[in-house]
């Protein structure tokens, strides 16, 4: 069924800029498949919501009378509706936008300070794709994290040293819509001497450094935005910078990060496929691939490459996903060795690294003739 054949997606645009409201309304109306209600601030938006509940809210954060973050918190507490943040690139907007993701927003779009109408016309395809995906998302109220209370408690307490020997392998993670909270829950569930992690989160370039900094406050591991030439090592998680492909390769026996500015792959830069394929080549069976919530199919091809290389491949299950698009695409291609709820993924990662280490030892390599190990949940 095409978008034209479905009921219009009702978008509530909340922004104090009349130019932004007019530009977004005109663009979405011209595209078809959308109905739009503009509001100059959250108080006006709440009046509109009493008469018609929107399918998705496009929300500015810096507004008079009530700021966007306060409005977002009220929405998530009373009636969770998918919210996409419309953020400027100036001042502390990056950190504020990442905080909004923690409060339940499902995605971020950027807006310029000048040439707004032209910008939205040129960005129409991306805006339509994000709003369409967000309209199908399942946001959660605060206090109902994606992981169980037990996992959340571990995250708050900061896991102690695991006592396991450091692995030479790498955990590669890919996520899109709804991914920031999922990545946070996984990393905060790993010990401070946990495995080397490299993660791609689809997020605009100005926000990934702020995202990594926010993760560092919740995690026992060291978390930073990846830089070209960074060593991939145990106890550290590297977050792919927005707008740059991130891959891993071997140099003098060590895994190293490479950044590049190539064309988008699977419609994204950074692309999960790029990272996963590089890990399949550089780490093979010593890698673990983890594909999390998000729309589209980025990561499915890379997950297939990882599984062919002998790596364990884990996908987040539908019940704990905000959007089940990316994991579903990989599952349908037979690229996933186990489908797990989010709260089980950290322990599955640690157990999988133990198996990969054992399989790589001379005494067990010859005896290991089976395929990827099922870790529980649905196995494809």
Q: Quote the pLDDT of residue 204.
A: 87
* Helices 179-187 & 208-218 angle (0-180, nearest 10): 40
Please check whether residue 339 lies inside any domain of the structure.
yes
- Catalytic-labelled residue, pool 87, 135, 176, 188: 176
Read off the pTM.
0.85
Listed residues 101, 134, 167: the one ending a domain? 134
- 241 and 300 together in one domain: yes
Please check whether residue 377 lies inside any domain of the structure.
no
Please check whether residue 51 lies inside any domain of the structure.
yes
For 27, phi and psi rounded to 5 degrees? -65, -45
- 122 and 165 together in one domain: no
Question: CB–CB of 127/120 below 8 Å?
Answer: yes
Q: Quote the pLDDT of residue 64.
A: 87
Q: Enumerate residues 6+ apart whose C-beta is below 8 A from 174.
A: 199, 200, 272, 275, 276, 289, 290, 291, 292, 294, 298, 299, 302, 326
Please check whether residue 48 lies inside any domain of the structure.
yes
Please check whether residue 93 lies inside any domain of the structure.
yes
- 199 and 99 together in one domain: no
- Catalytic-labelled residue, pool 15, 107, 181, 298: 298
Q: Quote the pLDDT of residue 369.
A: 36
- 119 and 207 together in one domain: no
- 123 and 168 together in one domain: no
- 174 and 312 together in one domain: yes
- 120 and 155 together in one domain: no
Backbone conformation region of residue 47, classed left if phi is above 0, alpha if psi is from -120 to 50, else beta:
alpha
Q: Quote the pLDDT of residue 123.
A: 78
CATH number of domain containing 223? 3.40.50.180
Catalytic status, residue 202: yes
Please check whether residue 140 lies inside any domain of the structure.
no
Q: What is the mean pLDDT for each group of 10 consecutive residues in the chain (380 residues)?
A: 71 94 91 96 97 96 92 94 86 83 90 68 83 90 44 43 63 95 94 95 91 94 97 96 96 94 94 98 96 96 97 96 96 97 95 76 44 38
Q: Quote the pLDDT of residue 94.
A: 86
Tell me, rounded to whole angstroms, the distance of Cα 131 from its chain centroid: 16
Q: Quote the pLDDT of residue 355.
A: 79
- Domain around 343: 149-365
Q: Quote the pLDDT of residue 195.
A: 94
* Helices 68-78 & 93-102 angle (0-180, nearest 10): 10
Total domains present in the chain:
2
Please check whether residue 361 lies inside any domain of the structure.
yes
- Catalytic-labelled residue, pool 55, 88, 181, 202: 202
Catalytic status, residue 317: no
Q: Quote the pLDDT of residue 361.
A: 59
């Amino acid at each position: 069924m095409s978008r034209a054949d479905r009921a219009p997606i009702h978008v509530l645009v909340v922004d104090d800029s009349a130019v932004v409201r007019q530009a977004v309304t005109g663009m979405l109306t011209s595209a078809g498949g959308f109905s739009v209600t503009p509001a100059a601030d959250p108080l006006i938006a709440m009046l509109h919501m009493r008469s018609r509940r929107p399918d998705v809210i496009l929300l500015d954060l810096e507004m008079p009378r009530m700021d966007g973050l306060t409005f977002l918190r009220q929405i998530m507490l009373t009636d969770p509706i998918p919210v996409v943040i419309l953020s400027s690139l100036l001042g502390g907007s990056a950190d504020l936008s990442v905080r909004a993701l923690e409060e339940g927003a499902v995605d971020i779009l950027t807006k310029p300070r000048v040439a707004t109408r032209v910008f939205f016309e040129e960005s129409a395809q991306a805006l339509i794709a994000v709003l369409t995906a967000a309209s199908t998302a399942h946001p959660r109220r605060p206090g109902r994290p994606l992981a169980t209370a037990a996992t959340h408690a571990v995250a708050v307490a900061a896991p102690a040293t695991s006592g396991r020997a450091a692995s030479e392998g790498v955990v590669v993670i890919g996520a899109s819509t709804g991914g920031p909270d999922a990545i946070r829950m996984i990393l905060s569930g790993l010990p401070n001497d946990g495995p080397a992690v490299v993660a791609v989160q689809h997020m605009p370039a100005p926000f990934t450094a702020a995202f990594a900094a926010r993760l560092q406050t919740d995690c026992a591991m060291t978390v930073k935005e990846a830089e070209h030439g960074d060593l991939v090592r145990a106890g550290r998680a590297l977050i792919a910078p927005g707008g740059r492909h991130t891959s891993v390769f071997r140099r003098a026996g060590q895994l190293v990060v490479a950044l590049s500015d190539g064309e988008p792959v699977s419609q994204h830069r950074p692309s999960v496929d790029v990272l996963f394929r590089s890990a399949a080549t550089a780490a093979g069976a010593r890698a673990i691939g983890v594909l999390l919530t998000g729309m589209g199919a980025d990561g499915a091809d890379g997950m297939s490459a990882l599984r062919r290389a002998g790596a364990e491949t884990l996908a987040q299950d539908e019940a704990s996903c905000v959007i089940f698009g990316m994991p579903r695409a990989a599952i349908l291609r037979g690229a996933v060795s186990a489908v797990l709820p989010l709260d089980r993924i950290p322990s599955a990662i640690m157990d999988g690294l133990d198996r990969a280490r054992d399989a790589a030892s001379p005494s067990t390599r010859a005896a290991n003739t089976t395929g990827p190990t099922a870790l529980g949940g649905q196995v494809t």
